[in-house]
Amino acid sequence: MSKQIGPSSEVLFHFTIKLEDGSVADSTQLHGKPAKLQMGDGSLTPNFEACLLGLSEGDKSSFELAPEDAFGPVNPDNIHHMERSRFAADLELEEGAILSFTQPNGAEIPGIVRGVAGDSVTVDFNHPLAGRTVIFEVEILAVEQCGA
């Protein structure tokens, strides 16, 4: 009998995230390293976890998630207008460029340049897939029951 994913399972799985047009946004198979997840730890939305519940080792599944169940909606508070002088003079700032910013606590956070107008640079710190409906394809490799 294969092991089924329950509310407290630890799951080893491969995933591919696709956009609605079928293009691949991310895949663990590209890196050859599966993801590990502890169900119920809050790292996934409840609806995402609900899609995994009941799947067993060896199962493959595909499901569509709305923005609020995947990477969240676009938060306008995460879009910042910054002075050009805050960037290195020799740095070419172009729309779509992903730059790394150091937060006050020392952690690095990526930001996407959304526009450059004169001395103003618009940087978006939302997740690149925020506001997008995505299709998750999963392949369950192993399921361990925890806390039983």
Q: What is the DSSP letter of 68?
A: G
65 within some domain: yes
39 within some domain: yes
Range of the domain at 133: 9-72+129-145
Shared-domain flag, residues 57 and 22 = yes
CA distance 119 to 15: 41
Shared-domain flag, residues 13 and 51 = yes
Interval 33-75: pLDDT, tens = 999 999 999 888 889 999 999 999 999 999 999 999 999 999 9
Question: Which residues, listed in sequence order, are joined to residue 17 by a DSSP beta bridge?
Answer: 26, 136
113 within some domain: yes
4 within some domain: no
3 within some domain: no
Shared-domain flag, residues 61 and 110 = no
How many separate domains does the chain show?
2
As to burial, measured by CB atoms within 10 angstroms (0-12 exposed, 13-18 middle, 19+ buried), residue 141 is: middle
Shared-domain flag, residues 84 and 52 = no
Shared-domain flag, residues 82 and 98 = yes
In sign, the C-alpha dihedral spanning 84, 86, 87, 90 is: positive
- Please provide the average confidence, as pLDDT, over all residues in the chain: 92
**Per-residue tens of pLDDT for the chain, all 148 residues:** 569 999 999 999 999 999 999 999 999 988 889 999 999 998 888 899 999 999 999 999 999 999 999 999 999 999 999 999 999 989 989 999 999 999 889 999 999 999 999 999 999 999 989 999 999 999 999 999 876 4
